[in-house]
């Protein structure tokens, strides 16, 4: 039969007739309610003519293509069987699989296929799901039915895209400069991105997007893949000379890293695939509600203060009492004690792994600090880095066999990696975290990961990490967890299933954050993205920024503060208090609405906003990142509004006003001007004048439908 999955404007058509590996006939825009006869006609019509100097049957890309069916591109499966010259009916050596379909089950939203090659003693079960939001998920499980080990080189997902999708967007980056977009034209061959960091890394490809020429945030057809995995991975696009274009994704396996014992199996991470007919924002329109459907986030995102850039390692009740009081004064709801609290931790070169409260800094433990935090009306959070160890630690000295890699390998940030695949090491870390969470009323763990893995099995370490996080959550289900990896080096949908927040980047510089948050937010909803107000001079770039720019940038995310606010002036603290009040009043909108981004004509400008699901309200940011292209800015247009409704537009000030380089604002923003009420269509297609902002400033605007009564 031919199976047609449909949801939210997306169709997936799979030809499961016969015994060959099924073929995806179409993945993309919804083709409507096709009768069985129409599906059969489509399947009969689509096979191409036999090409010159090629196999003698039409080549169609199956779910698991390889040489045996004439596919000379990157194969989906690579495996090698070890052992004697023959093992039962399964020969040794590199497997040339000839899989056949032996069974399948389909529903309105999913397909499960069983494929087998008896001569190689291999079976594969493939699961395909299409969510109600139009998000496609694919995973494979490979079974070793022979009586000798099977070494797996690759088990990937390949999805066909039309040849009009020949412009590629993916991402690269550095520490504090993550998610830098890069574009290329897909010519014949492979555009391949691999991560070998033991985590996705600061230069993670993140998404592999193929689209029509010139696609933007609000226009063009795009197809995208993401691998929900926190270890080594690869994403690629390939245009074959045979005339087939694919997007591919899979775990990147080192030689011999995954060996499948007889009667055992290996399961891939989920490949997440998304189609949009309306540009990159259309990807978010599917991904954000889908992620929210399974999100672990239990409640509204509180305002956080993290102590790192305020005090660094200088900790103690005397050092932090004033900061606790100042945090409460400005409206902080969760106070997080960062690195430096555990035994012997005076700098980043020692004591990591010794997860006991430092009796010198905290002679009564953390109880006095937590009591002061709680008495001030705030929750308490704690920083940990359970996967890493300093060589100068009691743990490393006592258990050198718990470290991954050779002792001679270079350290990274003075750290080595704890082998979580070692049961004793795993139990030790779990025991220490459990003891801390049992002794203290800790509401939140900031879980850090500050180095790449240079040795050992990334697959087993990542699997053990997931097991550890799951075990902590099972023991302490009310404790929230933030995933940090020297900032944004581990942001993926594998870790997101297990945490309530991610630290988007180690930089709080608002100029860097504007772009980092914009592109990270294509995949991840804003309520997950930690976004903090830093000091005037950035800890990472040494750039000095206006308070208004820092406030406007940090508003759009899971907002917090990373600044010694005891050093802020009374006026600054009053402004911050007003800002946290605006955040609390609007976070329901900011964390549940539709994220929209404009395709601004001036590259110095960046416009984005959040529109309520019912179209009743919206908050927009208009940021000037560099010198403007013209002395009179182009009109500001607001995407995503209901075109038929009328909206009242007003400037929104969250404590401090942006700096303009004009003598006077546009007339509609002048004091005493008549309020502006325009339709959503006019606000999108025409827009309104905006001030000529100085570089590194942002103006905020609030739009409210006129049929909504203010509370």
This prediction's pTM: 0.97
Rg from Cα positions in the chain: 27
Decide: residue 335, CB within 10 A, 0-12 exposed, 13-18 middle, 19+ buried. buried
Q: Of 592, 621, 644, which one is at a domain's C-terminal end?
A: 592
- 138 and 203 assigned to the same domain: yes
Which stretch of DSSP H or E encloses residue 32? Answer: none
Share of the chain above pLDDT 70, in %: 98
Residue 448 designated active-site: yes
Q: Which of 86-95, 185-194, 639-648 has the lowest mean pLDDT?
A: 86-95
pLDDT tens, position by position, 70-96: 999 999 999 999 875 444 445 678 888
Q: Of 242, 259, 294, which one is at a domain's C-terminal end?
A: 294
pLDDT tens, position by position, 241-299: 999 999 999 999 999 999 999 999 999 999 999 999 999 999 999 999 999 999 999 98
- 442 and 324 assigned to the same domain: yes
pLDDT tens, position by position, 364-410: 999 999 999 999 999 999 999 999 999 999 999 999 999 999 888 89
Q: Which of 272, 79, 82 is nearest to 159 (CA)?
A: 272
- Of 448, 500, 509, 600, the active-site residue reads 448
- 366 and 500 assigned to the same domain: yes
Residue-wise DSSP of 634-670:
PPB--TTS-TTSEEEEEEE-SSSPPPBSSSS--GGGS
Specify the pLDDT at position 90.
Answer: 55
Task: State the residue for tokens 């006939």.
Answer: 25
- 262 and 397 assigned to the same domain: no
- 415 and 554 assigned to the same domain: yes
- 263 and 366 assigned to the same domain: no
Specify the pLDDT at position 662.
Answer: 87
For the chain, give the mean pLDDT: 96
Specify the pLDDT at position 85.
Answer: 43
Half-sphere exposure of 533 (CA within 13 A, CB side): 30
Q: Of 240, 275, 294, which one is at a domain's C-terminal end?
A: 294
- 629 and 582 assigned to the same domain: no
pLDDT at 642 > cutoff 50: yes
* Residue 10 falls inside a structural domain: no
pLDDT tens, position by position, 398-454: 999 999 998 888 999 999 999 999 999 999 999 999 999 999 999 999 999 999 999
Per-residue pLDDT, averaged over 453-481, amounts to 96
Q: How far apart are CA 394 and CA 401, in angstroms?
A: 13
Specify the pLDDT at position 86.
Answer: 44
Structural domain harbouring 313: 304-592
- Of 506, 509, 600, 642, the active-site residue reads 506
Specify the pLDDT at position 94.
Answer: 86
- 323 and 238 assigned to the same domain: no
Per-residue pLDDT, averaged over 545-559, amounts to 98
* Residue 35 falls inside a structural domain: no
- 331 and 263 assigned to the same domain: no
Q: Which of 681, 684, 677, 682 is nearest to 703 (CA)?
A: 677
Specify the pLDDT at position 253.
Answer: 97
Is 334 in a helix, a strand, or coil? strand
Contact 341, 362 (CB under 8 A): yes
Per-residue pLDDT, averaged over 180-200, amounts to 97
Q: How far is CA 222 from the centre of its chain?
A: 18
Share of the chain above pLDDT 90, in %: 93
Specify the pLDDT at position 690.
Answer: 96
Q: Which of 71-85, 93-107, 164-178 has the lowest mean pLDDT?
A: 71-85
Q: What are phi and psi of 46, to 5 degrees?
A: -70, -30
Per-residue pLDDT, averaged over 519-542, amounts to 98
For the chain, how many structural domains are there in total? 3
Is 104 in a helix, a strand, or coil? strand
- 513 and 547 assigned to the same domain: yes
Q: How far apart are CA 620 and CA 526, in angstroms?
A: 14
Specify the pLDDT at position 91.
Answer: 62
Per-residue pLDDT, averaged over 654-674, amounts to 93
Kindly report the CATH number assigned to the domain that includes residue 565.
3.20.20.70
């Amino acid at each position: 039969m031919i199976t047609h999955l449909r949801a939210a404007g997306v169709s997936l058509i799979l030809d499961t007739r016969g015994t060959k590996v099924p073929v995806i006939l179409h993945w993309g825009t919804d083709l409507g309610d096709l009768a069985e006869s129409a599906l059969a006609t489509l399947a009969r019509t689509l096979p191409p003519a036999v090409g010159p100097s090629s196999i003698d049957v039409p080549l169609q890309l199956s779910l698991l293509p390889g040489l045996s069916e004439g596919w000379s591109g990157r194969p989906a499966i690579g495996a090698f069987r070890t052992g004697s010259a023959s093992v039962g009916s399964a020969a040794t050596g590199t497997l040339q699989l000839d899989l056949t379909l032996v069974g399948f089950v389909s529903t309105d939203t999913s397909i499960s296929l069983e494929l087998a090659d008896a001569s190689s003693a291999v079976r594969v079960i493939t699961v395909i799901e299409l969510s109600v939001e139009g998000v496609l998920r694919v995973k494979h499980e490979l079974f070793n039915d022979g009586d000798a080990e099977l070494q797996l080189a690759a088990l990937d997902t390949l999805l066909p895209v039309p040849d009009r999708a020949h412009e590629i967007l993916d991402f690269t980056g550095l520490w504090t400069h993550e998610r830098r977009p890069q574009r290329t034209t897909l010519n014949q061959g492979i555009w391949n991105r691999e991560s070998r960091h033991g985590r996705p890394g600061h230069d993670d490809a993140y998404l592999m997007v193929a689209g029509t020429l010139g696609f933007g945030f609000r226009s063009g057809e795009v197809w995208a893949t993401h691998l929900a995995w926190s270890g080594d991975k690869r994403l690629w696009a390939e245009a074959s000379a045979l005339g087939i274009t694919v997007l591919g994704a899979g775990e990147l396996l080192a030689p011999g890293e995954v060996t499948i014992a007889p009667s055992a199996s290996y399961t891939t991470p989920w490949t997440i695939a998304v189609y949009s007919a309306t540009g990159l924002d259309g990807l978010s329109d599917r991904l954000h509600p889908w992620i929210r459907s399974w999100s672990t986030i239990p409640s509204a995102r509180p305002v956080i203060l993290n102590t790192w850039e305020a005090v660094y390692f200088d900790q103690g009740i005397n050092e932090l009492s004033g900061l606790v009081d100042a945090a409460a004064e400005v409206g902080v709801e969760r106070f997080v004690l960062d690195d430096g609290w555990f035994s012997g931790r005076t700098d980043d070169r020692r004591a990591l792994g010794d997860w006991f409260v430092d009796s010198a800094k905290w002679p009564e433990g953390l109880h006095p600090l937590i009591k002061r935090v709680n008495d001030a009306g705030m929750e308490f959070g704690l920083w940990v880095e359970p996967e890493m160890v300093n060589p100068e630690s009691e743990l490393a000295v006592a258990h050198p066999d718990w470290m991954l890699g050779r002792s001679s390998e270079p350290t990274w940030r003075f750290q080595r990696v704890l082998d979580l695949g070692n049961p004793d090491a795993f139990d030790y870390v779990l025991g220490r975290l459990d003891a801390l969470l049992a002794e203290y009323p800790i509401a939140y763990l900031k879980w850090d990961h500050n180095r790449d893995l240079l040795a050992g099995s990334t697959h087993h370490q990542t699997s053990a990490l997931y097991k550890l996080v799951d075990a902590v959550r099972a023991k302490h289900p009310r404790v929230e967890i933030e995933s940090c990896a020297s900032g944004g080096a581990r942001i993926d949908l594998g870790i997101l299933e297990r945490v309530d927040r991610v630290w988007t980047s180690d930089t709080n510089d608002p100029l860097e954050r504007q772009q980092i948050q914009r592109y990270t937010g294509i995949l991840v909803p804003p309520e997950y993205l930690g976004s903090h107000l830093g000091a005037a001079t950035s800890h990472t770039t040494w750039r000095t920024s206006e308070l208004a720019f820092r406030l406007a940038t940090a508003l759009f995310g899971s907002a917090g503060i990373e600044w010694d606010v005891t050093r802020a002036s009374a006026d600054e603290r009053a402004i911050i208090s007003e800002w946290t009040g605006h955040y609390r009043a609007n976070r329901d909108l900011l964390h549940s609405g539709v994220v929209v981004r404009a395709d601004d004509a001036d590259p110095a400008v960046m416009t984005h906003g959040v529109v309520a699901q019912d179209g009743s309200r919206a908050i927009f940011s208009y940021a000037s990142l560099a010198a403007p292209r013209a002395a009179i800015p182009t009109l500001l247009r607001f995407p995503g509004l209901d075109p038929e409704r009328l909206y009242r537009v007003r400037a929104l000030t969250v404590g401090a006003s942006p700096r303009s380089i004009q003598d006077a604002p546009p007339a509609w923003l002048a004091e005493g001007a008549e309020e502006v009420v325009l339709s959503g269509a006019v606000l999108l297609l025409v827009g309104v004048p905006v001030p000529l902002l100085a570089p590194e400033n942002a103006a905020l605007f609030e739009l409210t439908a006129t049929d909504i009564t203010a509370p």
